[in-house]
Chain A
Amino acid sequence: MSDEYEHKLEAKSDYTGDASSVSTPDIDAVPDAELPDQELYHSHSWWTTYVFSQDAKYIGIQYALTAIGTGLLGLVLSWLMRIQLAWPGLGWLEPSSYYQFVTMHGMIMVVYLLTALFLGGFGNLLIPLMCGARDMAFPYVNMLSYWAFVVAVVVLLASFFVPGGPTGAGWTLYPPQAITAGTPGYNGGIILMLISLILFVAGFTMGGLNYIITVLQLRARGMTLMRLPLTIWGIFTATVLAMFAFPALLVGCLMMTLDSLLGTSFFMPAMVSLGETLTHEGGSPILFQHLFWFFGHPEVYIVALPAFGIVSDLLSVHSRKTIFGYRMMVWAIVGIGALSFFVWAHHMYVSGMNPWFGFFFATTTLIIAVPTAIKVYNWILTLWRGNIVLSLPMLFSLGFIVTFLNGGLTGLFLGNVTVDVPLSDTYFVVAHFHMVMGIAPILVVFGAIYHWYPLVTGRMMNETLGKVHFWITFIGSYAIYFPMHYQGFVGVPRRYYEIYDSPYIDVSTLLLNKFITIAVLIVGAAQLLFLYNLFASARLGKKAEKNPWKANSLEWQTPQMPPEHGNWGKELPKVYRWPYDFSVPGAKEDYIPQTQPPSEIIGAKVEKT
């Protein structure tokens, strides 16, 4: 199978051999190839092409579709929860189903939708293309990674069909209640949830090793780390975080599984349950909280950093402007990633830990605001005097900046112990984290899908439908989450399946609940419009020209669009600059692709990168 590639290899080695022997200084010179061309797996059957595919592009699409399908379930669950909250008299949900749906909604959206979509989906699709590689470093392991994810999803969904149903412990799965009678799914659903998470971590580790090695070792000639698009920096840093954060989740899950199945007492103190003394004693429930949040806080950035990276690229391309402060952006991504390992206990201010811990973690939490603010300023300065095109990716990116800023500012409130304690477990927290790690990254996901859709299908998505989708989603999310901030301030607690007519809770919040639910139903329906657009455009969409957005980065410079197996045809690309040379004075076009040699753009005042 590799004969054809070996031929190419011989031809190439001749070519690269004489590049260094040119005597006159060649302005188009790039360093010699360090490695022979990558040997690829070539599929021979329908099964190995479309099902057990080893091509990162296909795996990316598989990951994305599986994640979106699972996310759709999370969306439906949120509808049901909101209907219950707005009209508890209808009796749509049992209290137990409400808790189960809260739990599944949270876990699905954070782990099985956003993490899988950003890293598995966009990571697989974009890393090899943007780095100038033919594929991931280990295509076979990459395929295993996807199928482990599928098994994890199947196990998760299977928990809907076991006696007792899925776990209702909340997405944080805190013991002892998660595995104690009285919590829905305490002896069936929770086990499947824990096993599913363990499988997810195993699958992700296989994929994550691929992403890291591909970025570090498989870049094209001339592609230095500081010439990588910020998308890759975001995905790469998020993957590194995941490799170090998921172990804590894995250990926590394993220990809770043993507590539940074998009767060990890692997390279980001595307890009286339903009038009987349990056999457990001497365990530490706080230990689980530490393990969980040592994973859980970096997880926020595992979702946010790819969004930061992608949005930087979208803003730059669609405002025809160099990204402002590229190096600052890179260091901010890396800095946020590193700091995210030192803030986890700000999720535990009310857990009864030593108050000095709260002081320490509040400080580190507020320090994270610095690199994050740098990023927001840089996005705004990128737009400053740019040629802003209100295309769909741009609209969603603008929506992201506002939403992220909003969620970030409420984060400053919650990061301070004294302010957090009264706001803890209210709807203010719900509003905060949905704004900052729900809506904001999802807006980037939409922007990114509209942006890279032509790369995948060769067609454009429908612009009008997209604009309707944007405005309903954007305004709708504010209609949903702004009132929740207010509800939180007046003290409405989260995780209650019914807000009773109580003298302590203002009647206005009950009306707001109805308002929010109507907004949720409308916003949810708009996502069906998006799904229609996504699938129908693959056949009906306008044919896209090559490089439809006039972008500079490598993924648009492939010989074919959509790229074929092996991405680059005979010759691997050579990179001469970063991907942000837009509107360069003296250049013929308003963009200079990374592959355009300096000899072709003499006279253009490009920045040296």
Chain B
Amino acid sequence: MSDSSLDNLPKGWKSVPNDLGSDQTAFKGVQWGKAMMWIFLLSDTFIFSCFLISYMKGRASTVVDWPNTSHVFSLDFMGVPVPLLLIAIMTFVLITSSGTMALAVKYGYEKNRKMCGHLILATAIGGLIFVGMQAFEWSKLIHEGVRPWSNPFGAGQFGSYFFMITGFHGTHVSIGVIFLFIFARKVYRGDFDTGRRGFFTTMKSDYVSIEILGLYWHFVDLVWVFIFAFFYLW
């Protein structure tokens, strides 16, 4: 749909019955891939909700006390144990990478290939640092004796839920990082300007895919905020 005909449509709440009552598309001017990503993310929200609600239920019904999280997650800094130090840095890096991703989308639509590519690369590196720090955190906890089935600090379920949920989230981040690197290459090569065809799908490339990848990336960051709140602050 061209932009001019989009402008003629009703705005605000009136657009809802208008769009749903219309023919052809229910989301006017929204590219298919973008709509698909939104619905996928809704579904993924249910996955993470199930994880976190299971975690709350599991934590509420253990027979042994839950470990003291500010003790378990503290990091020695110059001889002083600082609670949540590592995790604060991780969260900061991930949230920052969301910012660079948003800028990449903006420069993408402006057809500024170089800036867009640099920013996607920066986002990918941010994600990579996050995953690296997560690996460090895992190995630190494993050294301290935390296992998926037991740990020296309290209820065994702590390790079970911690490794499962952060692992599932880390997998999401890693998949995102892989796609960010692929997209950085595609941007630098100019795929989105020339409409080069996808290797697997044989469909033309378009800058909107950067926004779609951005949606995924912001979602992964948002989920992290919830994991952070429920695991580290509770």
Contact = CB atoms under 8 A, between A and B. Distances in A.
B76 interface: no
B25 A219 contact: yes
Interface in A211-247: 212-213, 216-227, 243-244, 246-247
A100 interface: no
B149 A209 contact: no
A573 B50 CA distance: 43
Given A137-B32, A217-B30, A282 B21 contact: no
Contact of B27 (A216, A258, A284): A216
Interface in B42-96: 42-44, 46-47, 49-51, 54, 57-58, 61-64
Interface string B194-210: 00000011111000000
A433 interface: no
Interface string B14-47: 0000001111111111101101100110111011
**A216, A222, A224: which has the most chain B beta carbons within 10 Å?**
A216
A133 to B, nearest CB: 10
Given A217-B32, A248-B46, A266-B54, A258 B23 contact: no
Interface string A425-448: 000000000000000000000000
A219 B20 CA distance: 12
Interface stretch (B115-123, B130-138, B154-162, B177-185): B154-162
A172 B32 CA distance: 36
A35 interface: yes
A33 B24 CA distance: 8
Nearest to A254: B164
A279 interface: yes
B190 interface: no
A400 B230 CA distance: 48
B148 A264 contact: yes
A294 B51 CA distance: 13
B233 interface: no
B26 A223 contact: no
A238 to B, nearest CB: 14
A533 interface: no
Given A251-B50, A258-B164, A216 B26 contact: yes
A221 B54 contact: no
Contacts of B32: 137-138, 213, 217-218
Contact of A265 (B30, B160, B203): B160
A291 B36 CA distance: 25
B229 interface: no
Given A247-B50, A263-B148, A265-B160, A205 B40 contact: yes
Contacts of B54: 251, 255, 266, 287, 291
A246 B40 CA distance: 12
Among the interface residues B23, B24, B30, B203, which one has the most CB atoms of the partner chain A within 10 A? B24
Contacts of A138: 32-33, 36, 201
Contacts of B47: 247, 250-251
A137 B34 CA distance: 12
A247 B57 contact: no
Given A247-B43, A282-B157, A224 B22 contact: yes
Given A258-B164, A266-B157, A212 B149 contact: no
Interface string A144-182: 000000000000000000000000000000000000000
Contact of B22 (A31, A39, A213): A31
B39 to A, nearest CB: 6
A274 to B, nearest CB: 20
Interface in A478-533: none
B178 to A, nearest CB: 17
A294 B50 CA distance: 10
Interface string B92-123: 00000000000000000000000000000000
A282 B63 contact: yes
A244 B40 CA distance: 10
Contacts of A266: 54, 58, 157, 160-161
A247 B58 contact: no
B10 to A, nearest CB: 15
A566 B47 CA distance: 35
B148 A284 contact: no
Contacts of B164: 254-255, 258, 264
Nearest to A288: B54
Nearest to A210: B36
A405 interface: no
A413 interface: no
A284 B21 contact: no
A35 B23 CA distance: 12
Contact of A223 (B23, B27, B64, B203): B23
Given A39-B203, A222-B23, A226-B21, A248 B155 contact: no
B63 A281 contact: yes
A262 interface: yes
B36 A213 contact: yes
Contact of B24 (A1, A31, A251, A284): A31
A242 to B, nearest CB: 9
Contacts of B33: 138
Contacts of B200: 140
Contacts of A279: 149
Contacts of B29: 34
Contacts of A335: none
A137 B33 CA distance: 8
A248 B50 CA distance: 6
Interface in A29-50: 30-35, 39, 41
Given A223-B24, A224-B23, A244 B46 contact: yes
A575 interface: yes
A34 B28 contact: yes
B157 A31 contact: no
A222 B149 CA distance: 59
Contact of B43 (A137, A243, A270): A243
A217 B27 contact: yes
A137 B36 contact: yes
B46 A247 contact: yes
A283 interface: yes
A287 B148 CA distance: 18
Contacts of A265: 149, 156-157, 160
B127 to A, nearest CB: 22
B197 to A, nearest CB: 9
Given A263-B148, A281-B63, 13 more contacts: A35-B24, A41-B203, A138-B33, A140-B201, A140-B202, A217-B27, A221-B23, A225-B20, A247-B44, A252-B50, A270-B63, A284-B58, A294-B50
11 contacts: A1-B202, A31-B24, A216-B35, A217-B35, A224-B21, A224-B22, A225-B21, A225-B26, A243-B46, A244-B43, A246-B43
Interface of B: 1, 5, 20-30, 32-33, 35-36, 39-40, 42-44, 46-47, 49-51, 54, 57-58, 61-64, 148-149, 155-157, 159-161, 164, 168, 200-204
